Structure formats: C-alpha cells, structure tokens
Amino acid sequence: MKKFGNKYQTLLFMFFMITALTASVCTAQDFCGGDTPCPPDPPPFPVGYPPKPESEERSPQRLKVNVRQISGSLGNHGSQAVAPGAGEGDIFRKPIFQLGANGNMTGLSAGDMGEMLKGLGVWGNFSYTSTEDDSQNTKSDADLYNFIIGADYRIKDNMVAGLSFTYEDMDTTTDFNKGNVTSDGFTIAPYFAMLINEYFGFDVNAGYSWISIDQKRKAKNDAGDDYLGYDISSSPDTERYFIALNANGYYKMDKWNFAGTLGYIYAKEDQDGFIEIDGTKSEKVSASTVELGQIYLKAEASYSFDSVEPYLNLGYEYDTTYDDENSSTFGKYEKYEDNLDKDGFTAALGLRYLLLETLQGDLQAAGIFGRDNYNEYTISLNLRYDF
C-alpha cells in the first residue's frame, strides 16, 4: 500500500509540473514582459514571395525584339507592295509598286504590267539584330537571326494577301544571373495589304510562334549573395501570338516619295512551367505569361533613280501595355518603367535596288535610340521575285 502511495504521489507531482510549464509557455507567448501582450504572429508571405528564380526574370525587350523583326518585315512588305508607283518613265518601282499618280500603269507597258501585277510573288528576308540591355535586373546581350520566306498573290491591282514562315535563332548572355539562354523556333504569319486610293492604304498581319528554350544560370548560396561553382539548367517551351494593324499614307512629288505609318501591335507570350535541375535536386517553376502593346509612328522619304532608291525612315514608339503576371521584377508596370523607358526612337537607312524587271532587293540598317539602358541595331536584306 505504501508503494502504491509513492507511485501515486509521483504521478501527481508530474501532472502539476507539466501544468505549470504549459502555463509559463503560454504566458511567454502571450506577453513580452509584465502585462504587455506580444505582437501577433506575422501574416503569411504575400503572393509572389519569395521572388521567382532568376531564370524566370524575362526582359520586355526580349519579347519586343522577336515580334518586331517579324511583324515589321511583314508590315513594310505589305505597305510597299501596294504603294503608288514612281513618276512617268521611272522603271524602278514598277515590279511591285504599280499605280502612278493618276492611277494608270506607267513605265512598262500597261499590258505587261497587268500580267505582272495579278500573279504570284515570292520573297525572302534575312536579318541580324544585336541588343544590349543594361538595366540592373535583366542586364544581358543578345544576338538574333531571323530567316523569313513568304509568298503572296495580288487579288486586285490594289490588294495583296500572303503567307510567311520564319525561323529564328537567338543567343542571349544573361549577365544578371551569370547565365545563358539559347532559343529557336518557327512562326507562321499571314498578311494583307490594300491601297484605298493614291494617298491612303492599310495593312494587317498576325502570327503564331512556337519556341524551344535552353537556359542555364549559376547557382547561389542560401543567403543569395554569392555564386556557387555549378549551373542550374532548364528547358521551357514558349508560345507567342501577335497582331499588328497599320494605317499608311503616301505622297509623291516628282521622283520623291514620302510615306507615313501609324500602327499598333499587341503580343502575348505564354511560357510553360518547367523544371530547374542542378545535378543533385530539381525545382518546379510555374508557367508565366507576358503581354505587350505598342503604338508607333513612322515617316519615310525616298528618291527614285533609274534602278536604285535610297531612303530614310524615322519613327517614334510608345509601349502602351506591359504585363508579366508572374515576374517579381516587372510584375507592375511602374517597376518596368523605372528600369526601361516606355518610349524611344527608331531610325533606318536603306537602299532598294532593281536587279531584273521582276527581281528587287532591299538592304537596310536600323537602330533604336533614346531608351534608357537599352540599345538595338539591325541589318537586313530582302529579295522579292514576281512571276
């Protein structure tokens, strides 16, 4: 009986000790000294924290440079294909630019031109673009190569419809994360252009792209303030959509030709979710979407000689929309504006030349200027043959 009593006393003592400890812990949690209550627990991390992996931080310029090269080539081709022709006796613009100031065929005989204008035309374009992004969050340098082939049919003397295919290859050195991104893919894009009268016309083009990406970046330590000696790699896939509408104006004075364009382009890029691998572990990165809208105004002056036509094109562009719903750097338009200007200026110097009566070329050098932390330069060559 005495043994049972000792056991009972021991259990009772343990019960009171546990109760006292529990009370003291609760008191310590609820009060930070004296009668002052402790502050409540911090709320859970907001959406978007911690920041997305650096490989997901995509510069808005990367989307723009890809879309601009394709859509811009189609817009230029469409507007030129239906532009009013040069003056009487000037043969240069006739294979593609059919109407004189009075709406009649000039230069070549009307019969020959009528046969030429209502046939099939094929063309090819090669361009090389170099970009430099000096903004802190997306500092990078890129080289983009575009190869475009297209064919169109002249439905009427003032109306052209066509289809183009593009292969693109881009290599980007991403200094901001000591990495590299290589991408290649294809774009299919129809286009349409119409000359309303000798002064006005319009063109529209749209495209769908599917892009494969291979990217890598240097791993960082847990504190995020130093790089480690190994790479983190991933291979996401991307789909891109764009549509552009241009209103074009034309004015001719002797052998001088003046043209203006007011246009708008909208582009959307959907990147699939992907797995980042560092050799020992993997991490899933969620899908992301980027949307971009831009309005632009361009003016061109050219002078037609017998078989060559030099021209100067100046423009202004303004980004009306940029939205990256999953980016911790540019998730808000204000942050994007702080890093990269919303607007800039474009300039292009080119030479159109006639090789044969039905074979024309266009060599151009262009650039984008006036944007903080960003520069872009392009050279391109276009050849067109009309059957």
Return d(Cα 350, Cα 365) in angstroms, integer: 6
Q: 362 pLDDT band (50/70/90 cuts)?
A: very high
Which amino acid is located at 237 in the chain?
Answer: D
Report the predicted TM-score, pTM, of the whole model to 2 decimal places.
0.75
- Do 360 and 98 form a contact (C-beta atoms < 8 A)? no
From first CA to last CA, the distance across the chain in angstroms is 117
The pLDDT value recorded for residue 321 is 81
- Do 72 and 191 form a contact (C-beta atoms < 8 A)? no
Phi, psi of 240 (to 5 degrees): -135, 140
* pLDDT surpassing 60 at residue 56: no
The pLDDT value recorded for residue 275 is 82
Most confident of 22-26, 75-79, 278-282, 291-295: 291-295
Average pLDDT in the chain: 76
Three-state secondary-structure class, residue 287:
coil
Return d(Cα 267, Cα 247) in angstroms, integer: 18
* pLDDT surpassing 80 at residue 349: yes
Average pLDDT over residues 183-188: 95
- Span of 28-37, 164-173, 220-229 with lowest mean pLDDT: 28-37
Return d(Cα 78, Cα 278) in angstroms, integer: 47
Closest CA to 378 of 79, 76, 126: 126
Average pLDDT over residues 45-72: 60
The pLDDT value recorded for residue 108 is 31
The pLDDT value recorded for residue 265 is 94
What token pair was written down for 381? Answer: 């060559």
The pLDDT value recorded for residue 194 is 92
pLDDT tens per residue across span 103-151: 333 323 233 344 444 578 899 999 999 999 887 777 889 999 999 999 9
Closest CA to 129 of 67, 55, 75: 67
- Do 110 and 374 form a contact (C-beta atoms < 8 A)? no
Strand partners, 198: none
* pLDDT surpassing 70 at residue 11: no
Phi, psi of 72 (to 5 degrees): -65, -40
Which strand (E) or helix (H) includes residue 166?
A: strand 159-174
The pLDDT value recorded for residue 19 is 53
Return d(Cα 244, Cα 316) in angstroms, integer: 16
pLDDT tens per residue across span 204-262: 999 999 999 998 888 777 666 667 777 888 888 999 999 999 999 999 898 899 999 99
Average pLDDT over residues 360-384: 92
Return d(Cα 369, Cα 346) in angstroms, integer: 6
